[in-house]
Structure 1
Amino acid sequence: PCGALAVARPDVVLAGGAGGALCRSTDGGRRWRALGQGPRSGWNDLSISEGQTWAVGADGRLLRAAGDRVLRSRIADKDLRGLARRGPRGWAVGDDGTVVTSTDGGETWTGVQPPTDDDLSAVAAPAPDTVVVVGRAGTLLASRDGAGAWQAAHVTADDLHCVTFVDQAHGWAGGGATYGETRAQIVRTVDGGSSWRTIDLPVWGRIRDLCFIDALHGWAAVEDWGIDGDRPQGSLLATTDGGETWLPQWTSPVVLLAVAMGPDGTGWACGERGLTLQTADGGTTWTARDAGTDSTLRAAGVTAGTAWLAGADGAILVGRPAAAAPTP
């Protein structure tokens, strides 16, 4: 995606977008300061941990920021699309099966060779030495030694776009066919990625984003092509049984690309043409908000009742449950 966002705590927010802009706010999104420009096609993923911010993007670029100190480097030859961190360790994944890893807080990086040359879209690190990556054509790989040896799971032939874990055991990845030739799919693990099971959702299309707040409760933003496959729309689905069954909560003529939910039931979803939705009851009801932009919004994050949305054209918005609309 051209937009990415991460939240360290309610007052510290990082947002990256098109044109390589990376901005930092320390007052919950009211004021923003540029940390500098990056690759022109933008940063694709962000992570905030232990007072440091990392970002990865086009041309294998890495940015590390701590306070006013910003370091830039190139750690791969390909575009990087996913980033995961756990303590001083880090993993980044990208095009043509690229995986690079660091054990010293991002100072040095080493390329590793997973058993694929397909594009990789996302990575998660549910345990200190466990890494799970997903990508094109159903690529789903897990490593138990930090990215040395890999175990492949062959559960779907469709692209996987996202992966998330709530603990060391429970994880989900989502994807589907680009033009809705098949039903959108979840693949689920309850053993940290050793085994996976495919679950079809009641829509034709692909999952663009997943959010879980515990082992049972989750939401999916779906690009829904319908059974006739003539035009995509957006759907929000929810599960209360760990992904076994899914029920629709919202349908929109505009494609949804991201969803984020807090443990208190406050959530936001966003997508193309500035579409912004808000809920205060765990998704039982969703309300459309005027985001003040028609830019595509591709990332969402929620913490302590405050939401941040980011996307194309440098769009950065902040909203709160009591607010009528996010504030640019």
Structure 2
Amino acid sequence: MRRLGKTRRTIRTVRPSSRAAVAGVACAAVLALLTAAPAEAQETAAEAQGSHGAPHWALKDTGAPAVRFRGLSAVDRDTAWAAGAQGTVLRTVDGGASWRNVSPPGAADLQFRDVEAFDARRAVVLAIGEGEASRVYRTEDGGATWTESFRNTDAKAFYDCLTFFDRRHGLAMSDPVDGKFRILSTSDGGRSWKVLPNDGMPAALDGEAGFAASGQCLVSAGSRDVWLATGGAARARVLHSADRGLTWTAADTPIAAGDPARGVFALAFRDRAHGLAVGGDYRADQPSPQAAATTGDAGRTWRPAATPPPAYRSGVTWLPHSRTAALAVGPTGTDLTTDAGRTWRTLDTGSYDTVDCTPDLGCWAAGEQGRVARLEN
């Protein structure tokens, strides 16, 4: 969406069952601490770097204080990729202790808003913008070299987000072109892309578009289901496809709409049925009284959170190995739900735009002023 300027599914290696069990125990312990500790204690812990006890966001020095990172892909507790302004892509393989600048050459004028990582070596990044500013790059050697695999040549298109179902199949979405959202598809891991026919795409509402705020306006679950978040129109909607983007259905959400700055900014699905939506009004001087919603039927219907986050939120992710716990982030803080999105409470007041978790409890967040953090205790 021009006015603003993951669950995105990161493809990870399957771990042995014993490790999964250990991760599940670790997640249960962390969730117990998060649930038991009052919000004030969480905020204090988040500010005290190196403190122990309650889980908190521990900031990592990226060495890029001028960059806002809206793209984030966590591979595990040690490995994560961040993508942002000024054509910047960073990668860590040591839990954030050090970061390598692996930005594609000649990309300093681009705005990267989404990154999807398969592992420590292979990743795909999306640059947003009108016309040729929308591009896709791919690396197979940890960012040592990049290949530009797509450059938009339609002046009416503006790509916002991408997602992958597996290591081969993925989609990217553009704001409406000739009255319908445009979907780009790959079946070879991002090496090549093609525009899908729009016969199965419902008409866009007047002013409707996606928000390139966190890389989570297009997310997938399983091998075929994908959801697209919208805003800017009279109603904030979520579109769902069960056939990898060929046909879509649209559903209204209770999240605030009716203005170019309002709508659904991010989605997360823990399976093909249960999902979360967050958003609101991204303007700092405007309230967002209904900033979250839930679905239990693959997005056919959406219910407002009984106690939503207190302000606009741009990113959301489920905690691993949990059917009820999730984190939402935004410029004014991080919120936790332990009842599958019905109620939320604030854990931290730091500014983050996007968030992502991995099966081994590697939860990461990223945002303005080069901020990248990992959940630690």
TM-score (norm 2): 0.65
Cα distance in 2 for partners of 1:91, 1:306 equals 20
Q: Does structure 1 residue 141 correspond to structure 2 residue 170?
A: no
Identity of aligned residues (%): 21
- Residue 108 of structure 1: CA displacement? 1.4
Contact in 1 for aligned 2:255/2:290 (Cα 8 Å): no
Instruction: Classify the secondary structure of the residue corresponding to 2:236.
Output: strand
Instruction: Flag the 1:36–1:86 CA change in 2: closer, same or farther, 3 A.
Output: closer
- Give the letter aligned to residue 305 of structure 2: Q
Contact in 2 for aligned 1:39/1:59 (Cα 8 Å): no
- Residue 317 of structure 1: CA displacement? 8.2
- Residue 318 of structure 1: CA displacement? 4.8
Instruction: Classify the secondary structure of the residue corresponding to 2:311.
Output: coil
Residue aligning to 2:265: 208
- Residue 281 of structure 1: CA displacement? 2.1
Q: Does structure 1 residue 239 correspond to structure 2 residue 265?
A: no
Q: Does structure 1 residue 152 correspond to structure 2 residue 196?
A: yes
- Indicate the structure whose relative CO is greater, using CA pairs within 8 Å and at least 6 residues apart: 2
Contact in 1 for aligned 2:70/2:354 (Cα 8 Å): no
- Residue 248 of structure 1: CA displacement? 1.0
Contact in 2 for aligned 1:259/1:267 (Cα 8 Å): yes
- Give the letter aligned to residue 241 of structure 2: T
1:153-192 correspondence to structure 2 within 5 Å: 154=198, 155=201, 156=204, 158-161=208-211, 162-177=217-232, 181-192=233-244
- Give the letter aligned to residue 74 of structure 1: S
Residue aligning to 1:86: 118
Residue aligning to 1:36: 62
Instruction: Flag the 1:297–1:102 CA change in 2: closer, same or farther, 3 A.
Output: closer
- Residue 91 of structure 1: CA displacement? 1.1
- Give the letter aligned to residue 144 of structure 1: S
Instruction: Flag the 1:282–1:290 CA change in 2: closer, same or farther, 3 A.
Output: closer
Cα distance in 1 for partners of 2:297, 2:65 equals 41
| Equivalent position to 2:151, from 113, 126, 136 | 113
Contact in 2 for aligned 1:220/1:238 (Cα 8 Å): yes
Higher strand share: 1
Cα distance in 1 for partners of 2:298, 2:85 equals 34
Residue aligning to 1:98: 135
Cα distance in 2 for partners of 1:92, 1:194 equals 23
Contact in 2 for aligned 1:208/1:222 (Cα 8 Å): yes
Cα distance in 1 for partners of 2:80, 2:265 equals 24
Instruction: Flag the 1:301–1:152 CA change in 2: closer, same or farther, 3 A.
Output: same
Cα distance in 2 for partners of 1:316, 1:273 equals 15
Residue aligning to 1:282: 340
Instruction: Classify the secondary structure of the residue corresponding to 1:37.
Output: coil
Contact in 2 for aligned 1:122/1:134 (Cα 8 Å): yes
Instruction: Flag the 1:147–1:39 CA change in 2: closer, same or farther, 3 A.
Output: farther
Cα distance in 1 for partners of 2:338, 2:281 equals 24
Instruction: Flag the 1:281–1:73 CA change in 2: closer, same or farther, 3 A.
Output: closer
Cα distance in 1 for partners of 2:159, 2:58 equals 31
Q: Does structure 1 residue 265 correspond to structure 2 residue 293?
A: no
Instruction: Flag the 1:32–1:97 CA change in 2: closer, same or farther, 3 A.
Output: same
Say which is worse superposed, 108-117 or 120-129, in terms of deviation: 108-117
Task: Show CA shifts across 1:298-318 (max 9, x none).
Answer: 334456789665544648585
Say which is worse superposed, 124-133 or 260-269, in terms of deviation: 260-269
Task: Show CA shifts across 1:57-85 (max 9, x none).
Answer: 21212222223664323312411110012
In structure 2, list runs of 5 or more residues that go unmatched.
Answer: 13-22, 28-48, 212-216, 258-262
Residue aligning to 2:354: 299
Instruction: Flag the 1:115–1:199 CA change in 2: closer, same or farther, 3 A.
Output: farther
Contact in 1 for aligned 2:102/2:142 (Cα 8 Å): no
Instruction: Flag the 1:255–1:65 CA change in 2: closer, same or farther, 3 A.
Output: closer
- Give the letter aligned to residue 238 of structure 1: T
Q: Does structure 1 residue 194 correspond to structure 2 residue 246?
A: yes
- Residue 37 of structure 1: CA displacement? 1.2
Contact in 2 for aligned 1:256/1:272 (Cα 8 Å): yes
Instruction: Flag the 1:40–1:29 CA change in 2: closer, same or farther, 3 A.
Output: farther
Residue aligning to 1:123: 162
In structure 1, list runs of 5 or more residues that go unmatched.
Answer: 12-22, 320-326
Contact in 2 for aligned 1:60/1:80 (Cα 8 Å): yes
Residue aligning to 1:16: none
